[in-house]
Every structure is written in C-alpha cells, then in structure tokens.
Amino acid sequence: MPSPRILLVGCGKMGGALLRGWVGQGVAASGIVVVEPNPVSDLPAGIMQAKDAAAIPAGFQPDLILLAVKPQVMDAVAPAYARFAGPDTCFLSVAAGKTIATLQRLLGEAALIVRSIPNTPAAIAQGITACCAGPGIGAPQRSLCDQLLSAVGEVVWVDREELIDTATAVSGSGPAYVFLLTECLAAAGAKAGLPLDLATQLARATVAGAGALMRQSGEDAGQLRRNVTSPNGTTQAALDVLMAENGLAPLLERAVAAADKRSRELAG
C-alpha cells in the first residue's frame, strides 16, 4: 500500500503524538504536511511545515486531514480546509465535543468525516481511540483511520455518535482520573504517617504496575482485584470503604456523567 499523504492541522500534544506514531510506523515523512501557526522545532526530518492553510504547497492533495486543534478554535480554523472536501480526502477530527454535523457545516456537505476521541497514553503508543463514521465514510476511509490511529494504540468504532461523548468521558478524560487516584493515594498514605515522597513513590509505582499487569494479563479488572483480596484481610478492609453504597462507584458515575454532559455542551 502506498504511504498516505496526510495534512496535520494542529501539532500540539495529541497531533504531535499521532505524528510521531505515524513516522515510527513507517509512514513517509515526505507525504506529511503540518500546519501550525508557530514553527515546530522538533519535527521528524522531511516533514513540510506551513503556518496556515494558505501556505500549504500547491498541488498537495491529502488522503487524510487530521483536525487536532482545540475545540474552541475549530469553528475559526476548519473552513480554510473546505476546499479539500470530496471523495478523495477523509477528515479525521480528534476534537472533544465537535459533532459530525458541526464539522459538516464548517467543511461543506461533500466532506467525508470521522469523529474520534483518543487519549494521552497515545504519547507512548498505549492510547485508545473511539471513532464514529460520518455519512459517506466507507471501507477505504475506515481502514486509513484504523491504520493511522493504531499507530498510537487500540482503535474502536461506535455506531451512534452520542457514544463518542460517553467514550470521551471514560477514555478521553480517563487518564486524568487515574492520575488523581494516584495523587489521592499518595496523600492518604502521607496522612496515615508515611513521608510524602515515599508515599508518592509507592502510589505511583502501584498505579503504574497495576496498569501494566492489567494490560499484560488476560484477566479482567474484577478478577485481578479479587486476586489481591483475601477474606478479612487488609485489602478487604479498604474495599469495604471503596465499595460501600457511597463509595467509588457512584462517585465515578457522577464524574463520567459530568464529562459526558460537558462533551455534549462543547458541540455548541
């Protein structure tokens, strides 16, 4: 398969992670153009840079345009790329909250659009991206999105677009919940008497190790939890608190519902 021609609009944390993933996967740097208002200093060799849509080399016809700017600037940024809308170009958006209908309004009816939500472990190729295909998206566009997103982790597709908002609340924002859990575990350890730096080291290694164990093991999270829980033991004592009626489950339910709602609000 020939290397895809890609236009990356916004080379920040997420766009940059994907870009490094593609190059690492063998996508030809000479087929990639990056649009960023300010020069990016650490781009892989061979990638062309443009400061805006008008500066894209004439004749560059991308197979895929990755829209990786902040949702708040999408309405101002996207229309400059409407000239690429047509059967030969797929627009892949990673912007939280921006619906396919909104993007279609900005890019025109002819635009083929995939809406997706990745997460930050993409930076180490251990992310997960949920995608939803817009009207007219067929097997070739799906396969191109699969190829490019799998460079930074797993890829899943949902049929109903509103599930992207819910995926945003679970996996898109999810890494932040896990980091907060780590902070809270360290703080609780310090409050219980450990020196703060030791508590921080213990909490960090525990969360990282548990994540790695879960990734490598074939067992689901519930089984892994039961594996470390002896009846009447120390873990059981803590889980009695965490799994109480007002414990972690209803708290996370509220947190996910709040993020889901915010994602829908960002649609504008």
Binding site for ligand NAP (CB under 6 A): 9-15, 35-38, 68-71, 73, 77, 94-96, 117-120, 172
Smallest separation (angstroms) from ligand NAP to the CB of 245: 32
Smallest separation (angstroms) from ligand NAP to the CB of 223: 29
CA 80, chain centre distance (Å)? 24
Which residue of the chain is nearest ligand NAP when measured via CB?
A: 12
- Using the minimum distance from each CB to ligand NAP, give the nearer residue, 31 or 118: 118
- Using the minimum distance from each CB to ligand NAP, give the nearer residue, 21 or 71: 71
- Using the minimum distance from each CB to ligand NAP, give the nearer residue, 121 or 189: 121
Smallest separation (angstroms) from ligand NAP to the CB of 182: 17
Smallest separation (angstroms) from ligand NAP to the CB of 189: 27
244 residue type, one letter: A
- Using the minimum distance from each CB to ligand NAP, give the nearer residue, 148 or 199: 148
- Using the minimum distance from each CB to ligand NAP, give the nearer residue, 176 or 214: 176
